[in-house]
């Protein structure tokens, strides 16, 4: 029998569904992805609407899982589905719940794993965690973190997620929510974060944070000559900043330098906590290579205690941008089987 796991990633816009084998190969991936229910469908946070949206979504998801198993089963009848791993915002590993997720239309604490379990009583391992934790597990099971007992995964996207591996296991903490480094404070009373807090790392070093830095610098220098000055706020991306930097744009380069300065300082704080062997960066901005890695590394080293210097690698994640979510979510299942010795 070939062992496979279902990997699901519930994003703000779409939900990815795939079937992954124990080597991390994606045997099936639903295209196009399933639309995630939207906050605008339940703007007042009605419990009734939440329940309806949720039931419909879980039913659709179950159908898609079934058809994934069917499709792969036709090609390879000897597959055994070992579990379902789900990456979702504010997902609690211990309880299998999604709790007060600010970007989902569901109200309160949602027993998501239990609802999926009811659709698949025959599947034993159904596990939830947030997407950055899932990515960290993916890096550990399939990626460059394979032989590491202590490392950190940082995901740079709309937000800034993180997953910590300590002593060979993901850190879930006392409540199942550990690893929210994006919400550590790096600038006292600084930029407003998506969570409502102030000066959080996410507000500076996520892809969105980089965008904000572009306009802060344009405003500071009145840089009419920068090509970034011709692009509206809502169209800016880390890719555009990278391309501008490649052409020598000073503002673009300074955006990377500042992002690296902030990120390196925050990573030093993380090293002071758990002293990892490596820190993996994942997401769009990573494509900028040395533009982002060099200032980040420089700043981290400068902010480290001497005993930690020149020890911690900062590396691009080995997970692929498109498939990391599914592969990471499936890793939840493989890690679980490893724990029970299967």
- Residue 317 touches a copy of itself, criterion: CB under 8 A: no
Closest contact distance (angstroms) between CB of 171 and a copy of itself is 5
d(CA 161, CA 154): 6
Tokens (6 digits) for 305: 């205690």
- Residue 50 touches a copy of itself, criterion: CB under 8 A: no
Binding mask 252-281 for a copy of itself (x = CB under 8 A): -------------x--xxx-xxxxxx----
Size of the site for a copy of itself (CB under 8 A): 47
Residue 160 or residue 241: which is nearer to a copy of itself going by CB? 160
With contacts defined by CB under 8 A, name the span among 32-40, 176-184, 228-236, 323-331 that binds a copy of itself. Answer: 176-184
Residue 240 or residue 274: which is nearer to a copy of itself going by CB? 274
Based on the number of CB atoms within 10 Å of its own CB, is 195 exposed (0-12), middle (13-18) or buried (19 or more)?
middle
- Residue 146 touches a copy of itself, criterion: CB under 8 A: no
By CB under 8 A, name the one of 73, 111, 197, 284 that touches a copy of itself: 197
- Residue 144 touches a copy of itself, criterion: CB under 8 A: no
Residue 105 or residue 176: which is nearer to a copy of itself going by CB? 176
Closest contact distance (angstroms) between CB of 143 and a copy of itself is 17
Residue 105 or residue 182: which is nearer to a copy of itself going by CB? 182
Residue 85 or residue 179: which is nearer to a copy of itself going by CB? 179
Residue 99 or residue 243: which is nearer to a copy of itself going by CB? 99
- Residue 95 touches a copy of itself, criterion: CB under 8 A: no
Residue 91 or residue 251: which is nearer to a copy of itself going by CB? 91
With contacts defined by CB under 8 A, name the span among 42-50, 61-69, 241-249, 306-314 that binds a copy of itself. Answer: 306-314
Closest contact distance (angstroms) between CB of 212 and a copy of itself is 18
> Is residue 312 within 8 Å of residue 279, measured between CB atoms?
yes
- Residue 191 touches a copy of itself, criterion: CB under 8 A: no
Residues of the shown chain interacting with a copy of itself in the complex, contacts defined by CB under 8 A: 90, 99-100, 148-151, 164, 166-167, 169, 171-185, 187-188, 195, 197, 265, 268-270, 272-277, 303, 305-308, 311-312
């Amino acid at each position: 029998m070939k062992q496979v796991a279902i990997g699901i990633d519930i994003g703000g816009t779409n939900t990815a569904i795939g079937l992954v084998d124990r080597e991390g190969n994606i045997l099936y991936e639903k295209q196009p992805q399933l639309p995630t229910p939207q906050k605008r469908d339940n703007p007042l946070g009605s419990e009734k609407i939440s329940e309806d949206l949720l039931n419909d979504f879980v039913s659709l998801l179950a159908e898609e899982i079934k058809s994934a198993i069917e499709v792969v089963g036709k090609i390879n009848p000897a597959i055994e589905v070992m579990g379902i791993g789900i990456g979702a915002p504010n997902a609690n590993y211990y309880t299998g719940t999604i709790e007060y997720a600010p970007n989902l239309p569901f109200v309160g604490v949602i027993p998501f794993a239990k609802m999926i379990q009811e659709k698949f009583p025959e599947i034993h391992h159904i596990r939830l965690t947030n997407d950055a934790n899932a990515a960290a597990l993916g890096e550990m099971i399939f990626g460059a973190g394979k032989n590491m007992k202590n490392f950190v995964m940082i995901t740079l996207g709309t937000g800034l997620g993180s997953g910590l591996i300590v002593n060979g296991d993901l850190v879930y903490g006392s409540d199942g929510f550990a690893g929210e480094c994006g919400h550590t404070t790096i600038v006292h009373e600084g930029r407003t974060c998506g969570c409502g807090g102030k000066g959080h790392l996410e507000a500076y070093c996520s892809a969105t944070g980089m965008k904000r830095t572009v306009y802060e610098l344009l405003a500071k220098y009145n840089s009419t000559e920068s090509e970034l000055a011709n692009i509206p706020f809502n169209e800016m991306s880390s890719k555009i900043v990278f391309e501008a930097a490649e052409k020598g744009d000073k503002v673009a380069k300074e955006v990377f330098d500042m992002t690296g300065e902030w990120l390196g300082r925050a990573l030093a704080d993380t090293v002071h906590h758990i002293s990892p062997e490596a820190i993996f960066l994942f997401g769009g901005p990573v494509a900028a290579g040395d533009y982002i890695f060099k200032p980040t590394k420089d700043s981290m080293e400068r902010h480290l205690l001497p005993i930690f210097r020149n020890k911690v690698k900062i590396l691009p994640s080995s997970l692929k941008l498109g498939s990391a979510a599914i592969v990471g979510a499936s890793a939840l299942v493989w890690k679980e089987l490893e724990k029970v010795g299967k």
